[in-house]
Amino acid sequence: MRIGIFVSFILCSALLASPVSAQDVFGKPGKVDSGRTEEAVTTAKAALLAMGGADALAGVGACVAEGTYSVYFPVQDSGHFKWINSGDQFRYEYTGEKGAITTYLSNSGRPAEMTNDAVNYLPPNFIYTMADAPHLLGVRLLRHFNDLSGSFGLADSKKLTDKYKNTFVLRMAYPDADDSAKRLVERDWVIDAGSGLTNQLRIIAPGYPNASIQTVTNYSYSGYRSFDGVMAPTQIKMFDRGSLVKLFQLNSLQCGATVDNSQFIVNGGAHE
Protein backbone atom coordinates (compact mmCIF):
# COMPACT_ATOMS: atom_id res chain seq x y z
CA MET A 1 0.00 0.00 0.00
CA ARG A 2 1.42 3.38 -0.99
CA ILE A 3 1.05 6.22 1.46
CA GLY A 4 1.50 9.80 0.29
CA ILE A 5 3.92 12.39 1.55
CA PHE A 6 1.27 14.36 3.47
CA VAL A 7 0.20 11.56 5.77
CA SER A 8 3.09 12.21 8.15
CA PHE A 9 1.92 15.77 8.77
CA ILE A 10 -1.31 14.52 10.24
CA LEU A 11 -0.37 11.20 11.78
CA CYS A 12 3.40 11.03 12.31
CA SER A 13 3.92 8.33 9.73
CA ALA A 14 7.06 6.25 10.10
CA LEU A 15 7.89 7.18 6.52
CA LEU A 16 9.16 10.53 7.80
CA ALA A 17 9.07 10.55 11.57
CA SER A 18 12.06 9.74 13.74
CA PRO A 19 12.15 6.67 15.98
CA VAL A 20 10.93 7.65 19.41
CA SER A 21 14.31 6.80 20.95
CA ALA A 22 15.97 9.58 18.98
CA GLN A 23 16.87 12.81 20.76
CA ASP A 24 14.84 15.91 19.89
CA VAL A 25 14.13 19.30 21.40
CA PHE A 26 12.23 17.75 24.34
CA GLY A 27 14.70 15.00 25.12
CA LYS A 28 13.29 11.53 25.58
CA PRO A 29 9.55 11.14 26.21
CA GLY A 30 8.53 11.07 29.84
CA LYS A 31 6.23 8.52 31.37
CA VAL A 32 2.67 9.77 31.90
CA ASP A 33 0.98 7.97 34.77
CA SER A 34 -2.73 7.25 34.88
CA GLY A 35 -4.80 10.16 36.09
CA ARG A 36 -4.40 13.92 35.92
CA THR A 37 -2.29 16.08 38.16
CA GLU A 38 -3.75 19.29 39.51
CA GLU A 39 -0.95 21.34 37.95
CA ALA A 40 -1.54 19.80 34.53
CA VAL A 41 -5.29 20.42 34.65
CA THR A 42 -4.68 24.05 35.67
CA THR A 43 -2.25 24.49 32.77
CA ALA A 44 -4.69 22.95 30.29
CA LYS A 45 -7.52 25.18 31.48
CA ALA A 46 -5.34 28.27 31.15
CA ALA A 47 -4.38 27.26 27.61
CA LEU A 48 -8.03 26.69 26.70
CA LEU A 49 -8.88 30.14 28.07
CA ALA A 50 -6.13 31.73 25.96
CA MET A 51 -7.57 30.04 22.87
CA GLY A 52 -11.04 31.49 23.47
CA GLY A 53 -12.44 29.52 26.41
CA ALA A 54 -13.85 26.02 26.69
CA ASP A 55 -17.46 27.08 26.06
CA ALA A 56 -16.60 28.97 22.88
CA LEU A 57 -14.34 26.18 21.64
CA ALA A 58 -17.07 23.60 22.28
CA GLY A 59 -19.35 25.64 20.05
CA VAL A 60 -16.99 25.69 17.07
CA GLY A 61 -18.76 23.87 14.25
CA ALA A 62 -17.48 22.82 10.86
CA CYS A 63 -14.41 24.77 9.74
CA VAL A 64 -12.93 25.32 6.30
CA ALA A 65 -9.32 26.50 6.10
CA GLU A 66 -7.26 27.34 3.02
CA GLY A 67 -3.68 28.30 2.41
CA THR A 68 -0.41 27.31 0.79
CA TYR A 69 2.17 24.66 1.57
CA SER A 70 5.76 23.81 0.80
CA VAL A 71 7.30 20.36 1.16
CA TYR A 72 11.08 20.12 1.44
CA PHE A 73 11.49 16.41 2.13
CA PRO A 74 11.31 13.65 0.94
CA VAL A 75 10.12 15.20 -2.36
CA GLN A 76 10.03 18.94 -2.96
CA ASP A 77 6.59 20.28 -3.80
CA SER A 78 4.37 23.27 -3.18
CA GLY A 79 0.77 24.20 -3.76
CA HIS A 80 -2.59 24.95 -2.19
CA PHE A 81 -4.38 23.15 0.63
CA LYS A 82 -7.97 23.03 1.82
CA TRP A 83 -8.78 21.54 5.21
CA ILE A 84 -12.37 20.77 6.23
CA ASN A 85 -13.09 19.60 9.78
CA SER A 86 -16.38 18.82 11.46
CA GLY A 87 -16.10 17.01 14.79
CA ASP A 88 -14.28 13.74 14.11
CA GLN A 89 -14.76 14.09 10.35
CA PHE A 90 -12.09 15.56 8.10
CA ARG A 91 -11.14 16.18 4.53
CA TYR A 92 -7.59 17.39 3.82
CA GLU A 93 -7.03 18.25 0.17
CA TYR A 94 -3.70 19.23 -1.38
CA THR A 95 -3.29 20.48 -4.94
CA GLY A 96 0.33 20.36 -6.08
CA GLU A 97 2.09 22.76 -8.40
CA LYS A 98 1.62 20.31 -11.29
CA GLY A 99 -2.11 19.92 -10.62
CA ALA A 100 -2.04 16.55 -8.84
CA ILE A 101 -4.64 16.35 -6.06
CA THR A 102 -4.15 14.26 -2.92
CA THR A 103 -6.98 14.02 -0.39
CA TYR A 104 -7.26 12.39 3.03
CA LEU A 105 -10.72 11.47 4.30
CA SER A 106 -12.07 10.31 7.66
CA ASN A 107 -14.36 7.93 5.76
CA SER A 108 -16.52 6.90 8.74
CA GLY A 109 -13.56 5.83 10.87
CA ARG A 110 -11.65 4.05 8.09
CA PRO A 111 -9.28 6.79 6.89
CA ALA A 112 -8.43 6.83 3.24
CA GLU A 113 -6.07 8.55 0.83
CA MET A 114 -7.17 9.51 -2.68
CA THR A 115 -4.63 10.54 -5.30
CA ASN A 116 -6.39 11.54 -8.48
CA ASP A 117 -8.41 8.37 -9.22
CA ALA A 118 -6.58 5.98 -6.91
CA VAL A 119 -7.83 5.11 -3.40
CA ASN A 120 -5.73 3.69 -0.57
CA TYR A 121 -7.23 2.70 2.76
CA LEU A 122 -5.09 3.53 5.76
CA PRO A 123 -4.76 1.60 9.04
CA PRO A 124 -7.69 2.38 11.38
CA ASN A 125 -5.39 3.53 14.20
CA PHE A 126 -4.32 6.49 12.02
CA ILE A 127 -7.64 8.09 12.97
CA TYR A 128 -6.28 8.88 16.44
CA THR A 129 -4.04 11.59 15.02
CA MET A 130 -5.61 12.40 11.64
CA ALA A 131 -8.86 13.57 13.25
CA ASP A 132 -6.96 16.41 14.93
CA ALA A 133 -7.41 19.58 12.87
CA PRO A 134 -3.83 20.74 12.16
CA HIS A 135 -4.64 24.39 12.89
CA LEU A 136 -7.48 24.29 15.46
CA LEU A 137 -5.25 23.81 18.48
CA GLY A 138 -7.83 25.01 21.01
CA VAL A 139 -10.44 22.61 19.66
CA ARG A 140 -7.86 19.81 19.70
CA LEU A 141 -6.84 20.50 23.28
CA LEU A 142 -10.47 20.61 24.43
CA ARG A 143 -11.19 17.37 22.60
CA HIS A 144 -8.40 15.57 24.43
CA PHE A 145 -9.18 17.29 27.73
CA ASN A 146 -12.70 15.87 27.53
CA ASP A 147 -11.44 12.39 26.61
CA LEU A 148 -11.81 10.48 29.87
CA SER A 149 -9.21 7.94 28.78
CA GLY A 150 -6.57 10.68 28.66
CA SER A 151 -4.04 11.31 31.42
CA PHE A 152 -2.20 14.63 31.93
CA GLY A 153 1.06 15.52 33.55
CA LEU A 154 3.62 18.34 33.42
CA ALA A 155 7.21 17.76 32.40
CA ASP A 156 9.71 18.34 35.19
CA SER A 157 10.76 21.98 34.74
CA LYS A 158 14.20 21.17 36.15
CA LYS A 159 14.86 18.88 33.19
CA LEU A 160 13.87 21.41 30.52
CA THR A 161 16.57 23.24 28.61
CA ASP A 162 16.91 27.02 28.94
CA LYS A 163 14.94 27.40 25.71
CA TYR A 164 11.84 26.14 27.51
CA LYS A 165 12.22 27.90 30.86
CA ASN A 166 9.30 30.23 30.15
CA THR A 167 6.97 27.48 29.06
CA PHE A 168 4.93 24.63 30.46
CA VAL A 169 5.20 21.24 28.76
CA LEU A 170 1.86 19.50 29.13
CA ARG A 171 2.19 15.77 28.54
CA MET A 172 -0.93 13.92 27.47
CA ALA A 173 -1.20 10.15 27.04
CA TYR A 174 -3.71 7.31 27.15
CA PRO A 175 -2.31 4.53 29.36
CA ASP A 176 -5.80 3.28 30.22
CA ALA A 177 -7.29 3.27 26.70
CA ASP A 178 -8.97 0.06 25.56
CA ASP A 179 -7.24 0.13 22.17
CA SER A 180 -3.57 -0.88 22.38
CA ALA A 181 -2.74 1.47 19.48
CA LYS A 182 -4.21 4.45 21.31
CA ARG A 183 -2.07 3.61 24.33
CA LEU A 184 0.97 4.32 22.15
CA VAL A 185 -0.13 7.91 21.47
CA GLU A 186 1.37 10.79 23.43
CA ARG A 187 1.08 14.53 22.87
CA ASP A 188 3.50 16.99 24.44
CA TRP A 189 2.22 20.58 24.28
CA VAL A 190 4.72 23.41 24.75
CA ILE A 191 2.61 26.24 26.15
CA ASP A 192 3.94 29.77 26.54
CA ALA A 193 3.76 30.82 30.19
CA GLY A 194 2.83 34.38 29.25
CA SER A 195 0.28 34.09 26.46
CA GLY A 196 -1.01 30.59 27.17
CA LEU A 197 -0.70 29.77 23.46
CA THR A 198 0.86 26.57 22.13
CA ASN A 199 4.28 27.21 20.62
CA GLN A 200 5.20 23.63 19.78
CA LEU A 201 3.73 20.17 19.83
CA ARG A 202 5.37 16.79 19.79
CA ILE A 203 3.21 13.85 18.75
CA ILE A 204 4.26 10.29 19.44
CA ALA A 205 2.15 7.71 17.63
CA PRO A 206 2.06 4.14 16.30
CA GLY A 207 4.36 3.74 13.33
CA TYR A 208 3.74 2.25 9.93
CA PRO A 209 3.76 -0.57 8.96
CA ASN A 210 4.70 -1.79 12.46
CA ALA A 211 2.32 -0.04 14.87
CA SER A 212 4.28 -1.21 17.91
CA ILE A 213 7.28 0.93 16.91
CA GLN A 214 6.40 4.45 18.00
CA THR A 215 7.46 7.46 15.97
CA VAL A 216 7.84 11.12 16.92
CA THR A 217 7.26 14.32 14.98
CA ASN A 218 7.66 17.94 16.09
CA TYR A 219 5.57 20.95 15.05
CA SER A 220 5.89 24.67 15.70
CA TYR A 221 3.13 27.31 15.57
CA SER A 222 3.37 31.06 15.12
CA GLY A 223 1.51 34.09 13.82
CA TYR A 224 -1.62 33.51 15.86
CA ARG A 225 -4.66 35.56 14.91
CA SER A 226 -8.36 35.50 15.54
CA PHE A 227 -10.57 34.30 12.71
CA ASP A 228 -14.05 35.46 13.76
CA GLY A 229 -13.23 34.61 17.37
CA VAL A 230 -11.34 31.38 16.64
CA MET A 231 -7.63 31.63 17.47
CA ALA A 232 -5.38 29.81 15.02
CA PRO A 233 -1.71 29.95 14.01
CA THR A 234 -1.12 31.25 10.50
CA GLN A 235 2.16 29.38 10.16
CA ILE A 236 2.74 25.71 10.95
CA LYS A 237 6.10 24.00 10.56
CA MET A 238 6.84 20.31 10.71
CA PHE A 239 10.30 19.08 11.69
CA ASP A 240 11.96 15.69 11.38
CA ARG A 241 15.27 15.12 13.20
CA GLY A 242 15.55 18.89 13.64
CA SER A 243 15.13 19.65 9.92
CA LEU A 244 12.19 21.55 8.46
CA VAL A 245 10.27 19.19 6.15
CA LYS A 246 6.94 20.99 5.67
CA LEU A 247 5.64 24.54 5.94
CA PHE A 248 1.96 25.50 5.94
CA GLN A 249 0.72 29.09 5.64
CA LEU A 250 -2.91 29.58 6.68
CA ASN A 251 -4.62 32.31 4.66
CA SER A 252 -8.30 31.93 5.56
CA LEU A 253 -10.44 30.14 8.11
CA GLN A 254 -14.23 30.02 8.23
CA CYS A 255 -15.94 28.25 11.11
CA GLY A 256 -19.64 27.62 11.39
CA ALA A 257 -19.64 26.69 7.72
CA THR A 258 -22.28 24.44 6.20
CA VAL A 259 -20.66 21.30 4.83
CA ASP A 260 -21.97 18.25 3.02
CA ASN A 261 -21.05 15.17 5.05
CA SER A 262 -20.70 13.12 1.86
CA GLN A 263 -17.40 14.89 1.14
CA PHE A 264 -15.82 13.07 4.08
CA ILE A 265 -16.49 9.69 2.45
CA VAL A 266 -14.66 7.95 -0.36
CA ASN A 267 -16.64 8.32 -3.56
CA GLY A 268 -14.93 6.17 -6.13
CA GLY A 269 -11.80 8.29 -6.00
CA ALA A 270 -13.61 11.29 -7.47
CA HIS A 271 -12.74 14.83 -6.39
CA GLU A 272 -15.23 17.63 -6.19
Question: With 70 as the cut, is the pLDDT of residue 3 above it?
Answer: no
CA 249-93-52 angle, to 5 degrees, is 50
25 C-beta neighbours (distance < 10 Å), count: 16
CA pair distance 272, 255, nearest whole angstrom: 20
| Mean pLDDT, rounded, of the chain | 84
CA pair distance 205, 212, nearest whole angstrom: 9
Would you give the distance in Å from CA 248 to the centre of its chain?
Answer: 13
pLDDT at residue 58, as a whole number? 92
pLDDT at residue 158, as a whole number? 64
Phi, psi values for residue 44, rounded to 5°: -65, -40
Give me the mean pLDDT over the 3-14 stretch: 46
pLDDT tens for residues 211-242?
A: 778 788 899 999 999 998 889 999 999 998 78
pLDDT tens for residues 151-163?
A: 989 887 666 656 6
Question: With 80 as the cut, is the pLDDT of residue 2 above it?
Answer: no
Q: Does domain 11-264 have CATH number 2.50.20.10?
A: yes
How would you write 160-226 as a 3-class SS string? CCHHHCCEEEEEEECCCCCCCCHHHCEEEEEEECCCCCEEEEEEEEECCCCCCCEEEEEEEEEEEEE
pLDDT tens for residues 105-159?
A: 999 999 999 998 799 999 888 888 888 889 999 999 999 899 888 998 988 766 6
Question: With 70 as the cut, is the pLDDT of residue 17 above it?
Answer: no
| Residues pairing with 80 in the sheet | 68, 95
CB-CB contact of 188 with 168 (8 Å): no
CA pair distance 26, 149, nearest whole angstrom: 24
pLDDT tens for residues 50-93?
A: 999 999 999 999 999 999 999 998 889 999 999 999 998 999 99
Cis peptide before 175 (omega within 30 of 0): no
pLDDT at residue 20, as a whole number? 36
